[in-house]
Chain A
Amino acid sequence: MSFRLVRIDDRLIHGQVVAGWLRALGAKRIVIVDDATARDEFLREVLMLAAPQGVPVEVHGVAEGAARCLELASSPEPVIVLARSPRTILGLRQAGVPIEVVDLGGMGAGPGRRRLHKTISVSPEELGELRELEKMGTRVEIQIVADDRPIPFRSLDSNP
């Protein structure tokens, strides 16, 4: 298992990830799986260039990302996988990518979204997808920065 962190975060690469997680985990590669981002050439380039030197960033759509994650899952390289929505992770999981834990790191509030914890809000669909992930044996945890203690999603989900 080479995934040091599989994280759902609206903002993908940002301060908490670059200054916090990347250093704390000693990860050597970032794989971003998101269909919309993969289609946007400009954002792809920005993300590739935004990570610190020596940490390559890959941006894939879900189908391509699943194949890449399967390949990386068996390599010894320490990898961080970032996605913007639980649906993406569910897609990876359904394609057979082994994911033990998924971390909720940033999911913004908005109309129709319920707050679970601090900066983590979910829509009803996302709630269903997170429950589905738990059913498939992937633990869902909230841990915004590496120094925080992880909070199990199950403890915040009132009626699973």
Chain B
Amino acid sequence: MSRLAGGIGPRLERSHMYRKSAAVGAAVALAMLLAAAMPATVLGASAISGAPAPVHTITVSVWQAALIAIGYYLANSPFLFGLAFFTLYRPLVAGFLVGLILGDPAQGTLIGAAINVPYLGFISAGGNLPADASLAGWIGTTVALASGLDPTKAVAIAFGLGLLGTIIFYGRMAVDSVFAHWADARAEKADIAGVAFMNVVPGQAFLFVVSFVPVFWLALNGPTAVQDALNALPVWTVNGLVIAGGVLPAIGIALNMRFIFRGSAIPYFFIGYILMTATHNSISLVVVAALGLALAYLHLSFVRRDAPVPAEAAAEAAAAQAASAPPGTAPIASPSLGIRLTRGDLVKSWALWTFFAHANYNYERLQGTGFAHAMTPIIRRLYTTEDEIRAALKRHLVFFNTEPNFGNVVHGTVIAMEEQRANGAAIDDDAINSVKSGLMGPMAGIGDTLSQSTITPILLALGIGIAGGKATGTAVPTLSGATGNPLGAIIYVALVSVVIVAIGYTAWMQGYSRGRAFVTDVLRSGAIDRVLIGAGVMGNMVLGALAASFVVVNLAPTVTIAGAQMNLQAAVLDPLFPGALALGLVIMTWWLLRRRVNPLALLIVYLVVSIVAAYPFFGPDHTTSSDPAAQYQVCTSSLLHPYYACGAPPAPQAPPAPSAQP
């Protein structure tokens, strides 16, 4: 990551203003290096301090809090090749990095993974943000790690933080509108570098302040505040939080199911779920994903043999194409052009967009200033008079919003049109505007479906599974005793970065060289539908498997059968169908969301039900006794019991049943 940030320099050496952003980039790179170097010492220190106690707490130092606050800022900044939203923003990755900073990357990754599950179906489109997953990840992990909290307790606390974080996002969306007007003023003076400056510096300075200050404060004071609050609460309510940690993931999984749990892909969800429970969670999610890939191929070859493009639409489209302009209208750079763009101009423009598309995201123009910033290398090459430059800058400072990767086809097409216009072709502002405003919507529709609701959640589910899906070898999964695997975060970052950048670069270059023809060819070929269907098969498998690992509902009460006291869950339900209740909860949540129940309302209801269900209706509140019989009684005194198995009733002389404290 530091390598990427450091790489900003040479690419942006054109102007004074750019040098400023390069300086910010260098500072960021330095911070990343510090972040990477710091944990080595911390790790060493914690190794000396001996084996971790069941609850070991960490005091967050000022430097660590500052690094966490910088990390949170970076997760929302454009400086990581525009990939922050797909990487540092996600609690899985945030958890790993907070773990590095605080000296326990494995536990950090595990906590981040648990916090991430409710955000699996997370989508932000058109300036709308349901929750700030990044605050949940960065501060949620800090609090949990520093207080020695069980990952499942962190889930409920982190979700509250996620709602709080939307204040920062919406504040920024409102304030950044002002900077768009500052950019207008620079455009009026035909100041290309000024427009670029206004897209990056004021908005990022503001964002840094509003991110760093609250997160720094929360990282320093949050752990103690949460510990104090938890200590003040009766034990059963804390158990309730743990139960909620097993229930809330159902919402994230069901939100994601809204996109892929459809039609002939539905059975694959159950295959994934049953595969996990039947093997007692002893297989890795990578195995499930590989199996999913194979099944996706079979599904596409044998189940979905129908034409991927609806016949009606395809026929209409073909007719429309025949009736309209000849294929030559696609803006293809012809050799007769006097002023030509170089490949370097195109790459520079693409890189500027990839970095800074959302640098000044605001309600008024959304990505408008980002679009103008990306066009600066093109404008420099194509236009020389002040009037032309002013007109071009103003033309591209208007409202714009698309998905910033697949949607790059719009930019490529527009650049080709600008090139032709500069060479005297009769292309007026209206022609360019209509391509921008007409294409940005549909391309965002396809792009968001591809990147945000298909590729990201599937890869995240895979990463989370690797991070937290340690084989427990028991029918009832438990996160309490699991060790996190930082590889889950690392593999996710590598995969998602490659896929997202590849889509963005291809769309940009193809949009330039083939323009409209590329758009219609891709859409007509049905390739996107095939990808979505195949991804849907694999996604359902992985999601099903993930539900089996992260959604936990355990009945606490006992029944007396033939004079023997038996736990309803362990003795009656699990032998029939392990995890049946959790599966039922997931399907019910999906059904409720389809009935348009508000996910936030559902979340609050689930939280309240979890806490109420932890109330000791049938016995004592709690005991600190190490006597297995007493512990068993605690375990069976409520409606639902926390994330560990109650085990069997202790026989008089038998060794104590496994009953880890939450």
Contacts and interface: CB of A to CB of B under 8 A. Distances in A.
Interface stretch (B16-24, B213-221, B382-390, B519-527): B519-527
B438 A43 contact: yes
Interface in A137-152: 144-148
A13 interface: yes
Contacts of B258: 23-24
Interface stretch (B126-134, B185-193, B295-303): B126-134
B363 A47 contact: no
Nearest to A20: B125
B445 A14 contact: yes
A40 B399 CA distance: 21
Interface residues of A, number: 47
B72 to A, nearest CB: 24
Contact of B325 (A11, A18, A41): A41
A48 B444 contact: no
B399 A12 contact: no
A89 to B, nearest CB: 18
A53 B310 contact: yes
A124 interface: no
Among B126, B323, B532, find the residue whose CB has the most chain A CB atoms closer than 10 A. B126
Contacts of B418: none
Given A41-B325, A49-B317, A147-B598, A14 B310 contact: no
B325 A14 contact: no
B309 interface: yes
B63 interface: no
A12 B523 CA distance: 17
Among A10, A20, A40, A49, find the residue whose CB has the most chain B CB atoms closer than 10 A. A49
Contact of B452 (A14, A15, A50, A51): A15
B599 A53 contact: no
A36 to B, nearest CB: 7
Interface range for B: 35 or more
Contact of A41 (B125, B320, B447, B523): B320
Interface in B588-618: 594, 596, 598-600
Nearest to A9: B441
Contact of A45 (B128, B363, B520, B598): B520
A23 B595 CA distance: 11
Nearest to B364: A109
Nearest to B306: A53
B321 interface: yes
16 contacts: A15-B445, A15-B449, A15-B452, A18-B448, A18-B449, A19-B125, A24-B258, A40-B434, A42-B325, A43-B438, A43-B439, A50-B441, A52-B532, A108-B365, A109-B363, A119-B127
Interface of B: 123, 125-128, 130, 173, 177, 258-259, 308-310, 312-313, 316-317, 320-321, 323-325, 363-366, 398-399, 401-403, 434, 437-449, 452-453, 516, 519-520, 523-524, 529, 532, 594, 596, 598-600
